[in-house]
Amino acid sequence: MSIKTALTDALGLRVPVVQGGMQWVGRPQLAAAVSSAGGLGMITALTQPSPDHLRQAIREAHSLLKPGVRERSKFGAIGVNITLLPSINPPDYEGYARAALEEGIRIFETAGNAPTKIIKLVKQHGAYVIHKCTQVRHAVSSQKMGVDCLSIDGFECAGHPGEMDIGGLVLLARAKEELTIPFIASGGMANGDGLAAALALGCCGVNMGTRFMCTVESEIHPRIKQTIVDSTENDTVHLFRTMRNTARVYSNAVAREAIAKERGGAKFEEIQHLVSGARGRTVYEKGDPEAGVWSAGITLGLIHDVPTCEELLVRIEKDAITRIQTMGALVHPAKAVSSAVQERQSRL
């Protein structure tokens, strides 16, 4: 027994689960493990310092795949995330995209500002594109660009949830009303119940980030994984609210200090030393959850162990199927109205 959706059909997946493209986390070992387990693993382009480093990361990931997995669909088995961020000196996004294409990548997750050029480039090479949006109107615009699938990112997510504060329950229902192409749920997804709920709302799969951070193959420090296990849904905060670039991060002393300064009127330059990406990378490498700002979603409250990616996806698939079957059992054929009830109704 398995779950069959537009996503599993298009990409040859066993389980309609996509690993989010997380900065400093979406590395070859994790991406290969997710894909080998039947989901879709993602290498994060900007985790690599240059397009040439991305080439090497892709080759490493391909070498780690189980035999036969790479050929499961015409698009291959591993994707590359390219997130376009506002910057005075932007990275060589096109260089990253071309390097990925030249290494045989035909699945891309795009996100961020002005993605049209990158989407057009990879589509010219026959790629399958999943574009991430935090608002339905942006999803409709992206649909017109010709993307193949949309990732609808709700308020529950780690990283940037947008500025509208709309939770996944309503956001996904609205996406179902407006979109004509497949879409997946992102934000708040960590288990089989979440997958079943997303499918009930019209999604063809889910995107999980924080949950995959806390797996054996994730290359972040074990102490950070244990911090995730020990945390609850109450252990995140929103940074950059006053700058309209909201980010959900783990609630530690550094984040709270940055938020206090921000609320006091501090400009970005005044808190940059607290929120730098270099400090966040140190968290994952050294294992000190207080060393810098790091992304985490409210699914912290749903994560209680550190399984392998195979164990996690088998569990999610099994639990989702069980939940779907349980929901189906709630539907019963209409029963004949008893004669006593009919008599009462006739007297009204």
What are 58-73's pLDDT values in tens digits?
A: 999 999 999 999 999 9
User: 186 φ, ψ to 5°?
Assistant: -130, 135
Whole-model pTM above 0.75? yes
State the amino acid at position 44 in one-letter form.
Answer: T
Do the domain assignments include residue 183?
yes
Average pLDDT, the chain: 95
Domain span holding position 212: 6-218+306-328
Q: How far apart are CA 129 and CA 145, in angstroms?
A: 10
pLDDT of residue 344: 66
Answer yes or no: is pLDDT of 339 > 70.
no
pLDDT of residue 347: 67
Question: Cβ contacts of residue 155 below 8 Å, gap of 6+?
Answer: 161, 162, 164, 165, 166, 167, 168, 171, 187
Answer yes or no: is pLDDT of 114 > 90.
no
Q: Of 218, 184, 214, 216, nearest to 201 (Cα)? A: 184
CB 158 within 8 A of CB 19: no
Give me the mean pLDDT over the 63-92 stretch. 95
Do the domain assignments include residue 297?
no
Lowest-confidence range among 87-96, 202-211, 212-221, 255-264? 87-96
Do the domain assignments include residue 195?
yes
pLDDT of residue 87: 79
pLDDT of residue 340: 59
Which CATH number characterizes residue 55's domain? 3.20.20.70
Q: Of 7, 9, 6, 72, nearest to 36 (Cα)? A: 72
Do the domain assignments include residue 199?
yes
Tell me, yes or no, whether 46 and 93 share the same domain.
yes
CA angle 21, 78, 32 (to 5 degrees): 85
Do the domain assignments include residue 343?
no
Give me the mean pLDDT over the 130-135 stretch. 96
Tell me, yes or no, whether 138 and 266 share the same domain.
no
Question: Cβ contacts of residue 219 below 8 Å, gap of 6+?
Answer: 25, 27, 29, 30, 284
Taking residue 272's Cβ as centre, other Cβ atoms within 10 Å add up to: 11
Do the domain assignments include residue 347?
no
Give me the mean pLDDT over the 192-219 stretch. 98
Into how many domains does the chain fold?
Answer: 2
Tell me, yes or no, whether 203 and 248 share the same domain.
no
Give me the mean pLDDT over the 121-127 stretch. 98
Lowest-confidence range among 86-90, 210-214, 304-308? 86-90
Tell me, yes or no, whether 250 and 209 share the same domain.
no
Answer yes or no: is pLDDT of 250 > 90.
yes
User: 27 φ, ψ to 5°?
Assistant: -105, 170
Tell me, yes or no, whether 310 and 246 share the same domain.
no
Q: How far apart are CA 2 and CA 196, in angstroms?
A: 12
Tell me, yes or no, whether 98 and 233 share the same domain.
no
